């Protein structure tokens, strides 16, 4: 088992009985020390997650899923008071950088709650209550799902507007990878994970070409960090599949010959810094 901190920075609470217990058992087996667990859907989802955080305070970092229709900046305070460590954003009714959302983001920055943003194409499902798609003119839903509202370039705007806010973009912006990589390079407070299908569909060299800069290159991160110091491990799968995602990251590490120092930053060190945790 690894001797240094591993953090799963992107994991969803599954609609399975006793899911926090199942997750805790499996992550103890895998040697994963902390998990950023996103609240389940439904009006009571955040309260259910808060209970899981109370049960496993040394394992679970709760991320409250923001409801664009019902939540407001004042709810960010409520999330903090419930013990949440961050906020998850997905399926916005307007592009992520729309000015009407700025008060929400400002409150996250003020309270020190990192933001995890879904990026790129959003999945489709039926009968789960998770989608807000509708036919034109259908008054039963407040807005359409528009994947173009979730492009990585909008996080570039937010990272500049809220420079003290720690921002995490999911899936390296799939399919807008190059856009995500350049946003990553230019913004010290912006990070990405490689969760989703990308590690299955793309060769390691694809990511090596995207994340090419280091502290010695002519064009580099403003803080002179290696590109891979801006990448975090995230599973975004059910607990029993996380071992496979860890394997995919390990294949990437070996193929690109990443140093032990960089590997551990990806697996946990960088996420520990984002959430203000001591590594070890």
- Residue range 29-43, pLDDT digits in tens: 999 999 999 999 877
Phi and psi (nearest 5°) for 236? 55, 35
**Spatial distance between the Cα atoms of 135 and 87, rounded to a whole number of angstroms:** 29
Strands 7-12 and 167-169: unpaired
Would you say 116 and 61 are in contact if contact means Cβ atoms under 8 Å apart? no
Query: For residue 51, what pLDDT is reported?
Result: 97
Query: Which parts of 170-208 are beta strand (E)?
Result: 190-193
Structure tokens at 187: 């913004």
182 preceded by a cis bond (ω within 30 of 0): no
**Spatial distance between the Cα atoms of 113 and 77, rounded to a whole number of angstroms:** 10
Q: What is the pLDDT of residues 227-243, one digit of tens each?
A: 999 999 999 999 999 99
Q: What is the pLDDT of residues 174-214, one digit of tens each?
A: 999 999 999 999 999 999 999 999 999 999 999 999 999 99
Phi-psi region of 240 (alpha: psi -120 to 50; beta: other; left: phi over 0): alpha
The overall average pLDDT reported for the chain is 92
Q: Give me the percent of the chain exceeding a pLDDT of 90.
A: 84
Q: How far from 189 is each of 63, 67, 165, 231, CA to CA, in Å?
A: 18, 24, 7, 12
pTM of the predicted model, to two decimals? Answer: 0.92
Query: For residue 224, what pLDDT is reported?
Result: 86
Q: What is the pLDDT of residues 102-118, one digit of tens each?
A: 999 999 999 999 999 99
219-228 contact pairs (CB < 8 A, 24+) = 219/185, 220/185, 221/185, 221/186, 221/188, 222/186, 222/188, 223/188, 225/188, 226/262, 227/181, 227/184, 227/185, 228/258, 228/262, 228/265, 228/266
* Closest alpha carbon to 78 in 89, 64, 90, 67: 64
């Amino acid at each position: 088992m690894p001797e240094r901190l591993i953090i799963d920075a992107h994991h969803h609470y599954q609609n399975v009985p006793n899911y926090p217990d199942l997750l805790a058992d499996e992550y103890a087996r895998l040697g994963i020390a902390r998990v950023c667990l996103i609240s389940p859907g439904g009006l009571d989802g955040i309260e259910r997650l808060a209970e899981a955080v109370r049960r496993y305070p040394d394992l679970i970092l709760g991320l409250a899923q923001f409801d664009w229709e019902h939540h407001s900046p004042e709810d960010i305070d409520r999330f903090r008071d419930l013990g949440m460590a961050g906020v998850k954003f997905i399926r916005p009714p307007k592009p992520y950088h729309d000015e009407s959302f700025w008060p929400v983001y400002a409150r996250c920055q003020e309270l020190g709650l990192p933001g995890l943003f879904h990026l790129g194409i959003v999945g489709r499902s039926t009968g789960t209550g998770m989608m807000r798609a509708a036919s034109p003119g259908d008054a039963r839903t407040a807005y359409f799902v528009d994947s173009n509202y979730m492009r990585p370039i909008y996080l570039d705007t937010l990272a500049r507007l809220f420079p003290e806010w720690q921002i995490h973009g999911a899936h390296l912006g799939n399919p807008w990878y190059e856009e995500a990589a350049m946003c990553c390079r230019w913004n010290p407070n912006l990070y990405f994970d490689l969760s989703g299908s990308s590690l299955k569909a793309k060769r390691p060299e694809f990511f090596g070409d995207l994340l090419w800069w280091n502290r010695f290159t002519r064009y580099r991160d403003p803080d002179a960090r290696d590109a891979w110091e801006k990448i975090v491990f995230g599973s975004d799968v059910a607990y029993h599949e996380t071992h496979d995602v860890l394997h995919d990251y390990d294949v990437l590490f070996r193929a690109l010959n990443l140093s032990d120092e960089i590997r551990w930053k990806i697996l946990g060190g960088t996420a520990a810094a984002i959430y203000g945790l001591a590594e070890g």
